A = this chain, B = another copy of it.
Amino acid sequence: MKIYFTLDPRPDLKEPLVSEFPEIDFTFHKQLDESELADTDVLVTYGEDLNDHHIELSEQLKWIFVVSAGIEKMPAQKIAERGILVSNVRGIHKKPMAESIIAHILSLKRALPFVYKNQQNCEWNKKARLSELNGSTALIIGPGAIGAEIGRLLQAFEVYTIGLNRSGQPAPFMNETYRIDELKEQLPKAEIIISMLPSTKETKNLLSYEDFKLMRKDAIFMNFGRGDLVSLGELVRVLEDELIFHMVLDVYEVEPLPADHKLWKFDNVTVSPHFSSHSSRYVERSLEIFKPSLKKWLSGDHDVENKMDILRGY
């Protein structure tokens, strides 16, 4: 059995894996080499390097392990037709991403950009408006695994959490949960609005200028899900008209965000380059998910952790 990695883990991570599964023929490359695909049984990939042709070449392929949470760049139709199992590292983003989100919120509340700016100018300046996170209300749109971790941490900061999901059924670490079609009624309630939505037909352009008008003037809006939730044009209008206090974006309709795009220039936005899930512990953690899944797979049980519905998109 051949397992082909289109990523190359550090030696201290790779070696224990190889020795734990001596029966497996492992191949590790820094990027995808088409000539390796024909006899590959299991493919381990970041998920952005695959196209229809690759799936056709991979005649023996039965399982794709995606070292990422998003799978929208994958050739979903082809994979589904072939009945190839897809699983990912969903849980892995939970902690680093939730930490990034809390970092951005606290940074704004406690005026860290102001501190950094004044330090550049060697200026002792106390004239900032420092506010507090505790006591506020947060709306988490799409409270899945990451949203739950965000909710857990926000509740530790005594924040009241409202979740919006498809069903409206109670979600973990949410004080209240509503259906996503109740969005407009919930938007005015929150000082902090966080989207963790994946990219699907339903979520594309879900938010518009009109929705931002429903938000509080002191609101912070954060998009850490997928960039097509709201168009860049709408975001620029919202920023120009100062409808809300601040926006923190990690994802964009177009990525990378072009260097000459207006969005970079506003004071009321933080432009993070879609890396808030990054972590020096990322591959280590991926392998911690992969290993037990591989054991299960080898025993004939294909019900591995984080199985995805590739057509549904999550």
Q: Using CB atoms and an 8 Å cutoff, list the residues of chain A in contact with chain B.
A: 95-96, 99-100, 102-104, 106-107, 109-110, 112-113, 115-116, 118-119, 122-126, 128-134, 152-153, 156-157, 255-257, 259-261, 264-265, 270-276, 278-281
Asked if A275 meets B96 with Cβ closer than 8 Å, knowing A116-B113, A122-B265, A153-B157, the reply is: no
**Whole-angstrom CA separation of A134 from B152 in the bound complex:** 13
Per DSSP, chain A at the interface is loop
**Whole-angstrom CA separation of A123 from B271 in the bound complex:** 10
Asked if A124 meets B259 with Cβ closer than 8 Å, knowing A103-B110, A106-B102, the reply is: yes
Asked if A106 meets B103 with Cβ closer than 8 Å, knowing A119-B271, A259-B123, A273-B118, the reply is: yes
**Whole-angstrom CA separation of A51 from B264 in the bound complex:** 51
**Whole-angstrom CA separation of A128 from B272 in the bound complex:** 12
**Are B119 and A112 in contact, CB atoms less than 8 angstroms apart?**
no
**Are A270 and B130 in contact, CB atoms less than 8 angstroms apart?**
no
Min distance, Cβ A70 to any Cβ of chain B, angstroms: 15
**Are B280 and A129 in contact, CB atoms less than 8 angstroms apart?**
yes
Asked if A115 meets B271 with Cβ closer than 8 Å, knowing A110-B100, A124-B257, A257-B124, the reply is: yes
- A120 to chain B: closest residue by CB: B264
**Whole-angstrom CA separation of A273 from B109 in the bound complex:** 16
**Are B270 and A119 in contact, CB atoms less than 8 angstroms apart?**
yes
Min distance, Cβ A34 to any Cβ of chain B, angstroms: 26
Min distance, Cβ A296 to any Cβ of chain B, angstroms: 26
Return chain B residues, CB-CB under 8 Å to A123.
259
- A108 to chain B: closest residue by CB: B103
**Are A107 and B107 in contact, CB atoms less than 8 angstroms apart?**
yes
Return chain B residues, CB-CB under 8 Å to A128.
275, 278
Return chain B residues, CB-CB under 8 Å to A264.
119, 122
**Are B132 and A99 in contact, CB atoms less than 8 angstroms apart?**
yes
**Are A130 and B280 in contact, CB atoms less than 8 angstroms apart?**
yes
**Whole-angstrom CA separation of A65 from B135 in the bound complex:** 26
- Besides A99-B106, A124-B256, 5 more A-B contacts (Cβ < 8 Å) are A100-B110, A103-B106, A106-B107, A115-B273, A116-B116
Return chain B residues, CB-CB under 8 Å to A255.
124
Residue in contact with A99 in the complex, picked from B100, B109, B271, CB distance below 8 Å: B109
